[in-house]
Structure 1
Amino acid sequence: MVTKALLVTALIVLQVTSVFSQNRVPVIRENVPLDSIRLSDPFILADKSTSMYYMPGTGGMLWKSKDLRNWTGPFIVARTDPDSWMGKSPMIWAAELHAYKDKYYYFATFTNREVKIDTVGENVIERRASHILVSDKAEGPYMPMKDPVYLPADKPTLDGTFWVDKDGKPYMVYCYEWLQNLNGTMEKIELKPDLSGSIGEGKLLFRASDSPWSREKSTGGPNKVTDGPFLFRTGTGRLGMIWTSWIDDVYTQGIVYSKGGTLDGPWEHEKEPITPPNFGHGMLFQTLTGKWLMSVHSHRNSNGRYIRNPHLFEVDFSGDKLIVGKPYLP
């Protein structure tokens, strides 16, 4: 039986393949309001060295702004190796920018649609993995590093994010996709000191079915999708992670906290979602003037097409937990 989540995935892939891959030259636009940009998984880097905000987008592109209000872009910034596992024109999803040790790193999900690695039921699994590019500048260009593979070639992984844990080591936290394992997981893998590759194997943090708030419409049980992790520490030092799944056919974001204070957990889920319905894949950033915000995308169905736009919410995590406030209008 084809689930709701599988139908959603298929529709999105069919509709946006040309947008998510590096096969078109973008038209640069100026003074574009944030919520007018069509963009999934918005991640905003506030770069103090240039006094600019940078927002990577689908297809290896980048938007930039001085005030979060008006944006210019998109610029092509991701460069991939056509001879690598990604192929000549990979789809690029869920890009993030992280400043670390005098470099800038581009975490993203790359998909080579020409390579099929598995078939599970009606799910044809394409070669997809979280990967990292590097640049000397926030605005790129971002180039491949030495290691061509961070995660196993026989597993579809996505939405990799960055975290330095209490042991001082860098990690990638990512999703092992439900299309293959039928119960999506959140996992971690240690990275080399310069992030040029991974060390060892991935380790399970939690499963989608552990969530008390997600729900699958067809079965009434927990939804099996894990999506969009982002890590942070509260003012009391508590380690938290926001992540996204579904309630019936509604895209929804929840939160989980580590009782042990590290990536090893154990992880304890909050009972209720933390954002309004149809918002998800969030991240937290501090503005150049010191205010903390959450960046998410809205998710709506318009005549069979999924429309996604970036939005900002005020947040407070100065205490023991993250509290999401009102929408923020730059």
Structure 2
Amino acid sequence: MIKKSLLILALITVHLTSVFSQNRTAVIRQDVPLDSVRLSDPFILVDKKASLYYMTGTGGMLWKSNDLKKWTGPFSVAQTDPESWMGKNPMIWAAEIHQYNDKYYYFATFTNREVKIDTVGGNVIERRACHVLVSENAEGPYIPMKDPIYLPANKPTLDGTLWVDKDGKPYMVYCYEWLQNLNGTIEKIELKPDLSGSIGEGKLLFRASESPWSREQLNGKVGPNKVTDGPYLFRTGTGRLGMIWTSWIDDIYTQGVVYSKSGTLDGPWIQEKDPITPPNYGHGMLFCTLTGKWLMSVHSHKTVNGRNIRIPHLFDVDFSGDKLIVGKPYIP
């Protein structure tokens, strides 16, 4: 099963390298329906002052909409330093835009395919890490800050997101990739007050193998899946701290939820028994619409003529009580 997983990953990576690249030529389109946008890891920022929705994700491009129905884009917004560890043309995964204090911060995973940091099980691991860019405006451009790195150069990390914990300090919550540790983790690291760098070292929150719902076939036996993907944090109406995250059930992308017993990032984190999305939906985040309705954005996978297509979707959600409840698909 590990060999099969690596093969699937390799095929997807080779096919989508140009899609993930920030330097591809973008043809701006208008009035594009949401289900016609091709985007994985969709993240939606709501700008109440401008009455606009901004959507980004893997590829690092930006889409704009005033109603969630029709979108304009994609616009290139990330400006990385070619002299940095990222190189001249890094791949960009799972970009997020967070408004924090009086600025906008661009959390994303950058991969320099020219630099190899490890080989595990015959699989060569490229230089990949979470990083943060900054802008005065939601539409960018987003540029590097002071610190050249946020996480260790010898560890592949991905899908970083922002959370301010009860101690008032900002943190990056991210995945340490299973390709190297063979049992993916979700971890936290404290950020500087202006998010310009990290403080100290990362701390383990939980491992992929602790999930009761993410499973795979291992040598003819059912065992825990090793993938951690797409953490996103929220508080329920009762103040309970939760995190949605994604893994796999065999070859089906699926999302679950975990809750912190202490109400802080330090946990302990208690996994829910069952996933919260239907099969083939994952890498979610939560946002409140301009009309006050809470939704979850996710993406699905579809193969068309041998090509892997990823499509953003919206779901109704309710977390006004003690738990996150995912409702029906939402059609703008």
Comparing 112-121 and 48-57, the one that deviates more: 48-57
- Give the CA deviation at 1:107: 0.3
| 1:242 maps onto 2:275 in alignment | no
| 1:164 maps onto 2:164 in alignment | yes
Q: Which residue of 1 aligns with 2:31?
A: 31
What is the aligned-residue RMSD (CA, Å)? 1.0
Q: Deviations over 1:38-66 (max 9, x none)?
A: 10000000111211000113332100000
Distance 2:255 2:306 in 1: 22
Q: Secondary structure at the match of 1:150?
A: coil
Distance 1:3 1:168 in 2: 43
| 1:222 maps onto 2:224 in alignment | yes
Distance 2:272 2:322 in 1: 13
Does the 8 Å contact 2:42/2:58 carry over to 1?
A: no
- Give the CA deviation at 1:231: 0.1
Q: Deviations over 1:240-279 (max 9, x none)?
A: 0000000011000000000010000000000000000000
Distance 1:255 1:212 in 2: 11
Does the 8 Å contact 1:214/1:246 carry over to 2?
A: yes
* Counterpart amino acid of residue 22 in structure 2: Q
- Give the CA deviation at 1:321: 0.2
Distance 2:321 2:3 in 1: 39
Q: Secondary structure at the match of 1:72?
A: strand
Distance 2:168 2:191 in 1: 11
Q: Which residue of 2 aligns with 1:124?
A: 124
Q: Which residue of 2 aligns with 1:70?
A: 70
| 1:7 maps onto 2:4 in alignment | no
- Give the CA deviation at 1:5: 2.7
Q: Deviations over 1:180-214 (max 9, x none)?
A: 00000000000000000000000000000000001
Number of aligned pairs? 330
- Paired residues for 1:307-318 under 5 Å: 307-318=309-320
- Paired residues for 1:1-330 under 5 Å: 2-218=2-218, 219-330=221-332
User: Any unmatched runs of 5+ in structure 2?
Assistant: none
Does the 8 Å contact 1:4/1:249 carry over to 2?
A: no
Q: Secondary structure at the match of 1:147?
A: coil
* Counterpart amino acid of residue 33 in structure 2: P
Return the TM-score normalized by structure 1.
Answer: 0.98
Does the 8 Å contact 1:217/1:249 carry over to 2?
A: no
Does the 8 Å contact 1:40/1:297 carry over to 2?
A: yes
* Counterpart amino acid of residue 331 in structure 2: L
Distance 2:5 2:160 in 1: 20
- Give the CA deviation at 1:303: 4.6
Q: Secondary structure at the match of 2:15?
A: helix
Distance 1:169 1:250 in 2: 36
Distance 2:268 2:280 in 1: 28
Distance 2:134 2:267 in 1: 29
* Counterpart amino acid of residue 224 in structure 2: P
Distance 1:76 1:278 in 2: 28
Comparing 149-158 and 17-26, the one that deviates more: 17-26
Q: Deviations over 1:139-177 (max 9, x none)?
A: 111111011100000000000000000000000000000
- Give the CA deviation at 1:320: 0.1
Distance 2:113 2:95 in 1: 18
Q: Deviations over 1:279-320 (max 9, x none)?
A: 000000000110000000012334543211000000000000
Q: Secondary structure at the match of 1:217?
A: strand
User: Any unmatched runs of 5+ in structure 1?
Assistant: none
Distance 2:4 2:103 in 1: 41
Q: Structure 1 runs of 4+ off > 6 angstroms?
A: none
Q: Secondary structure at the match of 2:183?
A: coil
Q: Secondary structure at the match of 1:221?
A: strand
Q: Secondary structure at the match of 2:179?
A: helix
- Give the CA deviation at 1:9: 1.5
Does the 8 Å contact 1:107/1:133 carry over to 2?
A: yes
Does the 8 Å contact 1:4/1:217 carry over to 2?
A: no
* Counterpart amino acid of residue 16 in structure 1: L
Q: Secondary structure at the match of 2:215?
A: coil
